């Protein structure tokens, strides 16, 4: 991984120069190219041999139509098995492009240039690629790790606040998993808006290094990697519920994960014991960063149903990775529905709902 500020126009050509690939294809997310016109005017100059195109990004791009578009483009432009596909955009574009690359001629190499905080610390690491299908998120996908990732902090400059704070939810999740100094650091930082580039770089580097180590130990999600799912069983249910019901407000992914972490940590504490101080610190962070997500006990049955649908569950049981304390994660089987409801109550009571 290469990380820095305003490094793309310099690092990408030198990275590609050092390789013996035949051709280079670059897909730039349209929104990003519009927000960084100088950088993208420079790319054809520094990479005259590359074939460059833009593509609309965001979740709506993870479709079979966009996939077909990329396959057609690669084929018509003469991409071969020894070509490289460079993807510059948010997590959705990386997921789509990564899947297109993993299937084109049975797999060509990719270089990721993530442009959102979430895609820097999460989507660009671990090799998962996917598109959404039949209304199910990430239903079709593959494992196809990027050969290289270039993280240019400068992209964060144009990221909307909501997207920045959503990505920060994953930084908080990684700090919880790392525990120790990493956790104390996010507590000390509180609201990350206004962090200096060097501070962002350090935070992002640590987050990526942590996820990389977990993924290397368990590339196909057979065991250890499941710890990366903390907060996600409840978080996904909240996120899906807000989305399906055009709820009182949308709930960005990373924010849903933090709310999920609060609820899951409360349930863990009630079932197997846990660190109250961690929950208190997490609540303080969440209050600083996010506005309340209002729901009532009438919403509980549907939230429970969505939790049961989670693809990580074995038949009939909901098992979460519970945070006993930062750095101490244990599997917890959720057998008692009353305790899950207590967890929902806890978030509502403590978060002003």
| Contact footprint for ligand NAD (CB under 6 A) | 29, 31-32, 35, 57-59, 62, 89-93, 95, 115-116, 118-119, 122-123, 126, 128, 138, 155, 158-159, 163, 166
Pick 90 or 231: Cβ nearer ligand NAD: 90
Pick 145 or 322: Cβ nearer ligand NAD: 145
Helix, strand or coil, per DSSP, at residue 40: helix
| Catalytic-residue membership of 211 | yes
| Catalytic-residue membership of 298 | no
Report, in Å, the least distance between residue 241 CB and ligand NAD: 17
Report, in Å, the least distance between residue 99 CB and ligand NAD: 9
| Catalytic-residue membership of 232 | yes
* Residue 205 · residue 174 · CB < 8 Å: no
| Catalytic-residue membership of 36 | no
Pick 31 or 54: Cβ nearer ligand NAD: 31
| DSSP secondary structure string for all residues of 236-267 | HHHHHHHHHTT-SS---HHHHHHHHHHHHHHH
Pick 113 or 269: Cβ nearer ligand NAD: 113
Q: Report the b/e string of 172-182 with b at 16+ CB within 10 A.
A: bbbbbbbbeeb
187: which residues sit within 8 A by CB, 6+ positions away? Answer: 281, 284, 285
Tell me the backbone φ, ψ of residue 321, rounded to 5 degrees: -95, 110
| Catalytic-residue membership of 138 | no
The residue from 30, 205, 221, 342 that is catalytic is 221
The residue from 229, 239, 255, 348 that is catalytic is 229
Report, in Å, the least distance between residue 240 CB and ligand NAD: 12
Report, in Å, the least distance between residue 55 CB and ligand NAD: 10
The residue from 36, 211, 226, 348 that is catalytic is 211
The residue from 128, 206, 226, 348 that is catalytic is 128
| Catalytic-residue membership of 106 | yes
- Looking up tokens 């009630």, which residue turns up? 270
Report, in Å, the least distance between residue 32 CB and ligand NAD: 5
Our CA dihedral for 249, 58, 107, 150, rounded to 10 degrees, sits at: -100
Report, in Å, the least distance between residue 166 CB and ligand NAD: 6
Task: Give dist(CA 227, CA 242) in Å, integer.
Answer: 25
224, with CB counted inside 10 A (0-12, 13-18, 19+), is middle
Q: To 5 degrees, how large is the angle CA 128–CA 130–CA 153? A: 60
Token pair recorded at residue 34 = 């519009």
Pick 211 or 348: Cβ nearer ligand NAD: 211
Token pair recorded at residue 132 = 């959404």
The residue from 45, 76, 106, 246 that is catalytic is 106
- Looking up tokens 């967890």, which residue turns up? 343
105, with CB counted inside 10 A (0-12, 13-18, 19+), is middle
Report, in Å, the least distance between residue 300 CB and ligand NAD: 26
| DSSP secondary structure string for all residues of 64-94 | HHHHHHHHHHHHHTT--TT-EEEEEE-HHHH
Pick 162 or 333: Cβ nearer ligand NAD: 162
| Catalytic-residue membership of 255 | no
The residue from 10, 19, 23, 225 that is catalytic is 225
Q: To 5 degrees, how large is the angle CA 305–CA 310–CA 315? A: 90
The residue from 62, 173, 226, 236 that is catalytic is 236
Pick 25 or 99: Cβ nearer ligand NAD: 99
Provide the annotated active-site residues: 106, 128, 170, 211, 221, 225, 229, 232, 236, 253
């Amino acid at each position: 991984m290469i990380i820095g500020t305003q490094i793309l126009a310099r690092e990408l050509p030198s990275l590609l120069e050092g390789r013996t690939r035949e051709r280079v294809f670059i897909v730039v997310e349209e929104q990003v190219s519009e927000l960084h016109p100088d950088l993208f005017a420079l790319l054809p100059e520094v990479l005259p041999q590359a074939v460059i195109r833009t593509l609309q990004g965001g979740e709506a791009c993870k479709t079979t139509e966009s996939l077909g578009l990329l396959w057609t483009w690669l084929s018509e432009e003469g991409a071969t098995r020894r070509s490289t596909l460079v993807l510059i955009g948010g997590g959705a574009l990386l997921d789509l492009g990564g899947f297109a690359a993993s299937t084109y001629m049975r797999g060509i190499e990719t270089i990721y240039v993530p442009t959102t905080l979430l895609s820097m610390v999460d989507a660009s690491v671990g090799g998962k690629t996917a598109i959404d299908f039949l209304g199910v998120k990430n239903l079709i996908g593959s494992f196809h790790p990027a050969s290289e990732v270039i993280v240019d902090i400068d992209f964060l400059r144009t990221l909307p606040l909501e997207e920045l704070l959503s990505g920060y939810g994953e930084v908080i999740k990684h700090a919880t998993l790392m525990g120790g100094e990493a956790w104390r650091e996010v507590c000390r930082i509180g609201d990350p808006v206004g962090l200096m580039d060097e501070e962002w770089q350090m935070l992002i580097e640590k987050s990526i290094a942590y996820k990389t180590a977990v993924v290397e130990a368990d590339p196909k999600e057979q065991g250890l990697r499941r710890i990366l799912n903390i907060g996600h069983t409840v978080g996904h249910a909240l996120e899906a519920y807000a989305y399906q019901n055009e709820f009182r407000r949308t709930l960005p992914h990373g924010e849903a994960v933090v709310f999920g972490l609060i609820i899951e940590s409360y349930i863990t504490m009630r079932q197997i014991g846990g660190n109250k101080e961690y929950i208190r610190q997490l609540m303080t962070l969440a209050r600083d960063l996010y506005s309340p997500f209002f729901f009532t006990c009438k919403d509980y049955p549907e939230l429970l149903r969505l939790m049961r649908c989670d693809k990580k569950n074995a038949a009939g049981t909901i098992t979460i990775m519970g945070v006993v304390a930062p750095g101490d994660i244990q599997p917890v089987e959720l057998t008692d529905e009353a305790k899950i409801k207590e967890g929902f109550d806890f978030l509502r009571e403590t978060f002003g709902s």
